[in-house]
Amino acid sequence: MSTGGPQARVPFTSEDYAARMRRAVADATRAGLDGLLVMPGPELVWLTGYRPTAITERLTVLVLTPDREPTLLVPTLERPDAEAAVGAPGLDIVDWADGEDPFARAAALVRAGATMGISDSAWAMHLIGVQDAVPGSSYRSLTQSLPMLRAVKDAAELARLEAAGAAADATYEQILGVRFAGRKETDVAADLARMLREFGHEQVDFTVVGSGPNGADPHHEAGHRTIEVGDAIVLDFGGLLDGYGSDTSRTVCVGEPSAEIRQVHEVVRLAQQAGVEAVRPGVACQEIDRAARAVITDAGYGERFIHRTGHGIGTTTHEPPYMIEGEEQPLVPGMCFSVEPGIYLPGRFGVRIEDIVTVTESGGQRFNNTSRDLHVVE
Ligand code: ZN
Ligand code: ZN
């Protein structure tokens, strides 16, 4: 159990980064790509440890190809930060100065006619600039070409995800003690954000407080509705701790729950349990969705479970693999994802229960371990 304050940092070694870059090149080659262009965003952080403080119109790009050392092209004024941040040996850092053409510099690293994978987070102006500078080149979405590149986590990454989960759990334990009735959803959301930071998160990505009818909208964040006695409230919150994500949901009730809230909550609890119990190596992602959905469908609420069962998590809080019908990717030890079934009754209330789960040799192991019983708050 976390006691708050900054968590102990689990260091990545320079070999961790070097291995990731080698794997990225090998995966790209297998996918029929001539290399990768990685712009600022989750892949660049994962591959090099470098997270530029400001992502701007100045071109920053990591070029990974099988025929040369990885090369990070940065604006001259960012070079000191990049040198301080990158954790990988054998990474060649080169810079371009204002007044130079950065796309000509990037083009010198990419062969004419090449098919390159490019980060989904790349700015269109940067893609177009490189494309115009490299004759006959073409580009593919990095996430679509290599969806499993970051999906299997190593031991140091698992430790960070576990720490992020423990901090989210500590936040949930603490939010149970605040007053809900008579306050606005945004007030409780602000409490959640403050607690996530107190328990070590450096970034808060979402703080959903869906009270009463608002809970029936899975994308509702938090609004100015005043919370009333009798409301079911969907709480769904997370962010980044040491660069790795947390994401957990619990549904609480203000005062005594109605029989219907109790019943719906129990169906979702059993569905979530069934989803977690279906996790083991070799099982297709869609089987996790099917296991959770079957419980909800059998209880008569199939039409009211209106989203996929889960998503991967790592340096972002939403990434492959997705637990969805049609996804046949088999689970592999080290994958981490959410299991988060829900039931949404329009105009009335919603229930969602969510844990982050990692695949181990023997089954699924949760990174969120707070009680999944329906908790009564004040
Ligand atoms: Zn969530
Ligand atoms: Zn989620």
Query: 357: which strand partners?
Result: 337, 366
Q: Where in the chain is the domain with CATH 3.90.230.10?
A: 155-377
* Rounded Cα–Cα distance for residues 319 and 147 (Å): 9
Give the pLDDT confidence score for residue 55 in this predicted structure: 79
Residues at Cβ < 5 Å from ligand 2 ion: 247, 338
Ranges of residues in the chain with a pLDDT under 70 are 1-10, 88
Q: Which CATH class is domain 155-377?
A: alpha beta
Give the pLDDT confidence score for residue 5 in this predicted structure: 40
Give the pLDDT confidence score for residue 3 in this predicted structure: 38
Query: 248: which strand partners?
Result: 237
Q: How far is the CA of 236 from the centre of ligand 1 (A)?
A: 5
Question: Pairing relation of β-strands 248-254 and 232-241?
Answer: antiparallel
Give the pLDDT confidence score for residue 56 in this predicted structure: 84
Give the pLDDT confidence score for residue 141 in this predicted structure: 96
Give the pLDDT confidence score for residue 256 in this predicted structure: 96
Quick one: which ligand is closest to 357's CA? 2
Quick one: which ligand is closest to 313's CA? 2
* Rounded Cα–Cα distance for residues 269 and 272 (Å): 5
Q: How far is the CA of 249 from the centre of ligand 2 (A)?
A: 8
Q: So what's the architecture of 14-145 in CATH?
A: 3-Layer(aba) Sandwich (3.40)
Give the pLDDT confidence score for residue 54 in this predicted structure: 77
Quick one: which ligand is closest to 318's CA? 2
Give the pLDDT confidence score for residue 7 in this predicted structure: 46
3-state DSSP assignment of residue 185: helix
Give the pLDDT confidence score for residue 6 in this predicted structure: 43
Is residue 186 within 8 Å of 222, Cβ to Cβ? yes
Q: Where in the chain is the domain with CATH 3.40.350.10?
A: 14-145
Is residue 225 within 8 Å of 191, Cβ to Cβ? no
Q: Which residue do the tokens 């088999």 mark?
A: 330
Is residue 291 within 8 Å of 339, Cβ to Cβ? no
Give the pLDDT confidence score for residue 10 in this predicted structure: 64
Q: How far is the CA of 339 from the centre of ligand 2 (A)?
A: 8
Quick one: which ligand is closest to 219's CA? 1
Give the pLDDT confidence score for residue 349 in this predicted structure: 98
